[in-house]
Amino acid sequence: MSVTRFRFPFVEMPEAAIALREEVRQFLAEERENGGFVPMADCWASAMSPEYSRKVGQRGWLGMTWDKKYGGHGRTFLERYVVTEEMLVAGAPVMAHWIADRQSGPQIIKHAQPHVRDKVIPRIVAGECFCAIGMSEPNSGSDLASVATKAEKVDGGWRVNGTKLWSTGAHGCDYMITLLRTSPPDEKARHEGLSQFIIDLKSPGVSIRGIADIGGQVHFNETQFEDVFVPDDYVLGEVGGGWKMVVGELALERSGPERFLSSFIVLQEAMRLLVNDPSEKTRQVLGEIVAKIKTLRRMSLGIAGLLEEGASPEMEAALVKDGATLFERELLEKLRAILPQHVLASSSGLLPAVLRDGILRVPSSTLRGGTNEVLKGMIARQLGMR
Amino acid sequence: MSETGKIIFDTASRIFEDLSTAEVINAAENGQWPEALWQAIVESGLTLTWISEEAGGVGADMLDGFAVLKAAGGAAVPVPLAETMMAGWLQAKAGLPVGSEPMSVVIGGLHWDGEVLNGSVTGIPHGRNVKNLVVILDSEEGAIALCCKADDVAVRPVAGLSGEPWDTLEFKGVKPDQLGALQDGVDEAAAQALGALIRCAQASGAMAQALELTIQYSMERVQFGRPLAKFQALQHSIAAFAGQVAAINAATDSAAETLARNNRVDNDTWVEIAAAKTRLEEAVNEGAAVAHQVHGAMGFTYEHQLHHLTRRLWSWRDEYGSDAVWSVRLGDEVLKWGAEALWPKITAVSNPR
């Protein structure tokens, strides 16, 4: 019934997704009970557990939407949506497989050589192969087209030199989907001469150095390539077609539930404390937070529904990411303000830990995957202003 | 949208475009009833969008009515269309015949002794312009709807922020024409919620229209040798505005769909409405601010049409309860769920069974 230029249609969960949700909830409850994991804030970018990812793969919850003929499970976007949101809400250690399942796998299926695809995809689906993103560099953040890491043509492949930065989880990954310059930069055609490669991180000449974030945790990395040889068949798609691919890849990752549920575990744990004698302010804050979560979820789910129909709702996805990531900060700020101060001073218990981690990870939510300033520029372009 | 819905929506949009002009809206604020606009609305059956065919309506889906309300909000229609639709829905829920004359709704605040109504109520939209009033009261025998002639009620004119009538009504021994027991769990709280959702729908349309005006103006107005649209600071403000428009439309759609599906204000619907009305305030605050900032002094003049939208938005964010009211109510509900049920409750909306 929308009369505006934005579409976020109602999505009714199919029976299969409803049943699946119960299955996932049970799995998560059992895992937690058996000590399989301790919930973490921002788990998709901070909690890496190959063992856990393997279990998820064994349950059939990785590569869910990918075609069965490539080793995927041929299920719907909505079923995948249900699995991811349940994992996020539980604070489960999903980081190892997150990138491969969300964006690298679909790119490999779409653009890789068949034998490379057949080698990698079944392992991703099994939860035994993880991927990192190699886009940013020391001198290329938001301005991605300025990447300088080079691939030079050599006999049978390419020789790679340069440095990639902020590659979350690279230290535990098998491959990096890497954006490289394959011909010299041309100021008149900035988006040309870039190509994507699948680089085996065990290759000689690759060195990965962890970088501590403001909380002292090492989740992202600096990855150096020194005369690294990449065989021809590990080029992803066409040489020179990297930019278009990257843009598509970023659009895929924009509007998922991880954009507003990263700190849900903090809210849930805080509720246990806040139910006792809540002040008017507490009641108001909880009402406002839940109103926002419900609205964001409606929007994010609407986009999953549009993707299911084969549409590409780029503007809507950018709007969701902007609003959702700003909400992540607001959520923690508002919760902190209504919680007793002793919570942050406490050294034991789940709430103090996730609250502290959540607050210290807030700055990253409006940076990762493209800053909100870049997003707003894209929205303005879609609105016809640029 | 259904075929019928599309016809209704297109008809409504055409009528609003032709007859809810800036002159008509300004004249209405100065006390001139827009008879041509109202007649066109009544003749095309828009006031009966929420009434079933058996009850004399047009047999449209409830969502079609919400689409009409969005369009009406975008056109700032200065007549009690929303109020008449709301009154009609409540009349139907009480098994009473539904009229097409202009109506408004009074929720609670009056004393009913079984014979007559007494008391005084404030902030009644279009109080002075309507022929009939539908009064919703929670009585000891359950919730009832009472229909009164507006002529039997003394009106003290008050103008709301929007410039529309927001009148104080005095009931002194007013004998209702008709009375019916409300069905489907409709009571004062449910009527309040319906009013809140109606305001969200109107505001969604008004926000969307204000955004369009703002984008348009930013591309036309040239300063420092280039259109405002080319300044990054304004691009970012307007992108944030777009986010607010998207959010309030999504929240409103979600609530309207739940109401249409359940055909009553049950707990699920109430929660959806509480979320939408809570979400409205930030959307209006941020959106109206950007709209005015981009339009500059021009948009601050009475002559410019922007205030038809922004003044209504400022009024609607408070009508039927502001964020301060609804967020606390929703917060109470959330606390009742508790930590364990919080997430299952949030996901239940996409599993409507």
Task: Examine the residue annotation and report whether A253 is marked as an active-site residue of this protein.
Answer: yes
Are the CB atoms for B349 and B272 separated by under 8 Å? yes
User: Of A85, A86, A249, A253, which residue is the catalytic one?
Assistant: A253
pLDDT > 70? residue B202:
yes
What are A213-237's pLDDT values in tens digits?
999 999 999 999 999 999 999 999 9
B352–chain A nearest CA distance, Å: 7
Mean of pLDDT values over B322-339: 97
Q: Which of A10-19, A229-238, B249-258 has the lowest mean pLDDT?
A: A10-19
Could you tell me the fold of the domain covering B101-185? Butyryl-CoA Dehydrogenase, subunit A; domain 2 (2.40.110)
Q: Which among A12, A275, A377 has the least Cβ separation from residue B235?
A: A377
Number of domains in chain A: 3
In this structure, are A231 and A350 located in the same domain?
Answer: no
In this structure, are A22 and A44 located in the same domain?
Answer: yes
B59–chain A nearest CA distance, Å: 16
Are the CB atoms for A168 and A138 separated by under 8 Å? no
Q: Is residue A5 part of a domain?
A: no
Residues 20-79 of B with CB under 8 A from A: 63-64, 66-67, 70-71, 74
Q: Is residue A331 part of a domain?
A: yes
Compute the distance between CA of residue B339 and CA of residue B314 in angstroms, rounded to an integer: 34
Q: Three-state SS for B172?
A: strand
Compute the distance between CA of residue A319 and CA of residue A300 in angstroms, rounded to an integer: 10
Return the pLDDT at A311: 86
Which residues of chain B neighbour A380 with C-beta distances below 8 Å?
229, 235-236, 238-239
Q: Is residue A3 part of a domain?
A: no
Burial class (CB in 10 A: 0-12, 13-18, 19+), A191: middle
Yes or no, beta carbons of B339 and A272 under 8 Å apart = yes
What are A263-296's pLDDT values in tens digits?
999 999 999 999 998 999 999 999 999 999 999 9
pLDDT > 70? residue B193:
yes
B220 interfaces chain A, CB cutoff of 8 Å: no
Please tell me which residue of chain B has the smallest CA distance to A282. Answer: B331
In this structure, are A166 and A92 located in the same domain?
Answer: no
Q: Is residue A48 part of a domain?
A: yes
The CATH number for A144's domain is 2.40.110.10
Taking the alpha carbons of B306, B308, B311, B312 in that order, is the dihedral positive or negative?
Answer: negative
* Cβ neighbours for B240, distance < 8 A, ≥ 6 positions apart: A322, A376, B286, B290
Yes or no, beta carbons of B64 and A1 under 8 Å apart = yes
In this structure, are A21 and A115 located in the same domain?
Answer: yes
Are the CB atoms for A275 and B334 separated by under 8 Å? no
Yes or no, beta carbons of A267 and B342 under 8 Å apart = yes
Mean of pLDDT values over B281-296: 98
In this structure, are A368 and A309 located in the same domain?
Answer: yes
In this structure, are A307 and A325 located in the same domain?
Answer: yes
CATH of B188-348, one of 3.30.590.20, 1.20.1250.20, 1.20.140.10, 3.40.630.10: 1.20.140.10
According to DSSP, the β-strands at A218-231 and A175-181 are unpaired
Spell B228-251 as b/e; 16+ CB within 10 A means b. Answer: bbbbeebbbbbbbbbbbbbbbbbb
Yes or no, beta carbons of A13 and B246 under 8 Å apart = no
Yes or no, beta carbons of A5 and B229 under 8 Å apart = no
Confidence of residue B230 (pLDDT cuts 50, 70, 90): very high
Yes or no, beta carbons of B254 and A295 under 8 Å apart = yes
Number of helices (H), then strands (E), in chain A: 13, 8
Q: Which among A4, A285, A375 has the least Cβ separation from residue B249?
A: A4
In this structure, are A239 and A261 located in the same domain?
Answer: no
Mean of pLDDT values over B324-353: 91
Q: Is residue A2 part of a domain?
A: no
According to DSSP, the β-strands at A218-231 and A157-165 are antiparallel
**Which pTM does this prediction carry?**
0.96
Please tell me which residue of chain B has the smallest CA distance to A319. Answer: B243
Mean pLDDT of chain A: 95
pLDDT > 90? residue A357:
yes
Q: Write out the DSSP string of A98-134.
A: HHIIIIIHHHHHHHS-HHHHHHHHHHHHTT---EEEE
In this structure, are A262 and A376 located in the same domain?
Answer: yes
B98 interfaces chain A, CB cutoff of 8 Å: no
A257–chain B nearest CA distance, Å: 12
Range of the domain at A113: 15-129
Predicted-complex ipTM score:
0.96
CA distances, A111 to each of A101, A106, A120, A156, B213 (Å): 16, 9, 13, 19, 43
Q: Which among B70, B232, B243 has the least Cβ separation from residue A3?
A: B70
Are the CB atoms for B293 and B235 separated by under 8 Å? no
Return the pLDDT at A182: 97
Q: How many CB atoms lie within 10 A of CB B33?
A: 14
Reduced DSSP (H G I as helix, E B as strand, rest coil) percent helix, strand, coil of chain A, to 5 = 50, 15, 35
In this structure, are A280 and A234 located in the same domain?
Answer: no
Q: Is residue A4 part of a domain?
A: no
Yes or no, beta carbons of B242 and A280 under 8 Å apart = no
Mean pLDDT of chain B: 96
Where does CATH 1.20.140.10 sit in chain B?
188-348
Please tell me which residue of chain A has the smallest CA distance to B247. Answer: A295
Where does CATH 2.40.110.10 sit in chain B?
101-185
Where a domain ends, among A129, A149, A181? A129
- Give me A115's structure tokens: 């034998």
Burial class (CB in 10 A: 0-12, 13-18, 19+), A129: buried
Return the pLDDT at A2: 42
**Which residue pairs, CB below 8 angstroms and at least 24 apart, start in A190-193?**
A190/A145, A190/A146, A191/A145, A191/A243, A191/A244, A192/A240, A192/A243, A193/A240
Return the pLDDT at B177: 96
Please tell me which residue of chain B has the smallest CA distance to A270. Answer: B339
According to DSSP, the β-strands at B117-125 and A150-154 are unpaired
Residue listed under structure tokens 């080793």:
A71
B208 interfaces chain A, CB cutoff of 8 Å: yes
The CATH number for A276's domain is 1.20.140.10
Spell B61-99 as b/e; 16+ CB within 10 A means b. Answer: bbbbbbbbbbbbbbbbbbbbbbbbbbbbbbbbbbebebb
In this structure, are A149 and A185 located in the same domain?
Answer: yes
- Give me A300's structure tokens: 């994010």
Return the pLDDT at B5: 82
Compute the distance between CA of residue B181 and CA of residue B193 in angstroms, rounded to an integer: 19
Are the CB atoms for A56 and A62 separated by under 8 Å? yes
Q: Is residue A190 part of a domain?
A: yes
In this structure, are A232 and A282 located in the same domain?
Answer: no
In this structure, are A285 and A363 located in the same domain?
Answer: yes
pLDDT > 70? residue A4:
no
What are A65-100's pLDDT values in tens digits?
999 999 999 999 999 999 999 999 999 999 999 999
pLDDT > 70? residue B75:
yes
pLDDT > 70? residue B206:
yes
Q: Is residue A296 part of a domain?
A: yes
pLDDT > 60? residue B353:
no
Compute the distance between CA of residue B17 and CA of residue B6 in angstroms, rounded to an integer: 16
- Give me B104's structure tokens: 């408004």
Where a domain ends, among A95, A129, A163? A129
Q: What are the beta bridge partners of residue A176?
A: A132, A199
- Give me B29's structure tokens: 């604020």
Are the CB atoms for A5 and A319 separated by under 8 Å? no
Where a domain ends, among A129, A159, A183? A129
Which residues of chain B neighbour A296 with C-beta distances below 8 Å?
247
What are B119-172's pLDDT values in tens digits?
999 999 999 999 999 999 999 889 999 999 999 999 999 999 999 999 999 999
- Candidates A1, A79, A350, A381: best to mutate against B (most CBs of B within 10 A) is A1
Yes or no, beta carbons of B253 and A8 under 8 Å apart = yes
